[in-house]
C-alpha cells in the first residue's frame, strides 16, 4: 500500500530554542554522554528496530546536533550539512505513539541529568518544552485505530 505522509496541523512548531547557558555549563563531553545514554534507552524501547545496530555510534551524530542546539559550536552543520530534521526523519514511520515513546526515553535520561551531566536545573523545563514541541513536527504518520500504522515501526 502506498505510504500516506501525515503533516501535523499548524505546520512547523513555534518553539523557543533552548538556552545557550546549557552548553556553557555542560560542555561538549557531557552532551555526548547524555545522548549516548538516551540512545541506550532507545535501544531498550519499542522503537529499537528503527535505530542502527550500534546505537552508541549513532548517538554521536545526534549529539553533534544537540551541541549546536544547546548553544555550542554548530558541529552537526559542519560535519553533516543542513539538519532539515523533518526530512531526515521521513524514511522512518513516526506516529504519535512513537513520539511519546521517544519523549519517554528522553525523560528517563533528563530525570538524572543535573547530577550526571551537569545539566543546569533551571533550564530543564525549557528544554523539555522544546523537545515536546519540536518532536511533534517529526511525526509523519497518522495514528491508526487498528494499529496498522505501527507495522513499519516494529518490522515484519
Q: ∠ CA(89), CA(126), CA(22), 5° rounding? A: 90
Report how far residue 93's alpha carbon sits from residue 27's, in angstroms, rounded to the nearest whole number. 33
Residue 92 binds ligand HEM, judged by CB under 6 A? yes
In the bound complex, what is the minimum distance in angstroms from residue 120's beta carbon to ligand HEM? 18
Residue 88 binds ligand HEM, judged by CB under 6 A? yes
Site map 133..152 versus ligand HEM, x via CB under 6 A: -xx--x--------------
Secondary-structure percent of the chain, ordered helix, strand, coil, rounded to 5: 60, 0, 40
Burial of 7 (0-12, 13-18, 19+ CB in 10 A): exposed
Segment 63 to 82, residues that bind ligand HEM, using CB under 6 A: 65, 80
Segment 5 to 64, residues that bind ligand HEM, using CB under 6 A: 47, 50-52, 58, 61-62
Residue 102 binds ligand HEM, judged by CB under 6 A? yes
Report how far residue 35's alpha carbon sits from residue 76's, in angstroms, rounded to the nearest whole number. 14
- The closest alpha carbon to 11, from 150, 149, 133, 144, belongs to 133
In the bound complex, what is the minimum distance in angstroms from residue 86's beta carbon to ligand HEM? 9
Query: Which residues lie near ligand HEM (CB under 6 A)?
Result: 47, 50-52, 58, 61-62, 65, 80, 85, 88-89, 92, 94, 98-99, 102, 131, 134-135, 138
Amino acid at each position: 500500500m502506498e505510504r500516506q505522509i501525515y503533516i501535523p496541523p499548524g505546520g512547523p512548531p513555534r518553539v523557543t530554542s533552548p538556552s545557550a547557558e546549557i552548553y556553557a555549563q555542560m560542555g561538549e563531553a557531557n552532551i555526548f554522554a547524555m545522548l549516548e545514554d538516551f540512545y541506550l534507552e532507545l535501544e531498550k524501547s519499542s522503537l529499537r528496530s528503527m535505530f542502527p545496530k550500534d546505537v552508541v555510534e549513532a548517538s554521536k551524530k545526534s549529539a553533534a546536533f544537540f551541541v549546536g542546539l544547546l548553544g555550542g559550536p554548530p558541529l552537526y552543520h559542519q560535519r553533516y550539512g543542513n539538519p532539515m530534521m523533518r526530512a531526515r526523519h521521513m524514511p522512518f514511520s513516526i506516529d504519535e505513539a512513537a513520539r511519546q515513546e521517544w519523549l519517554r526515553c528522553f525523560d528517563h535520561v533528563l530525570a538524572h541529568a543535573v547530577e550526571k551531566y551537569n545539566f543546569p536545573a533551571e533550564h530543564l523545563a525549557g528544554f523539555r518544552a522544546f523537545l515536546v514541541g519540536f518532536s511533534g513536527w517529526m511525526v509523519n504518520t497518522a495514528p491508526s485505530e487498528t494499529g496498522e500504522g505501527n507495522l513499519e515501526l516494529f518490522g515484519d
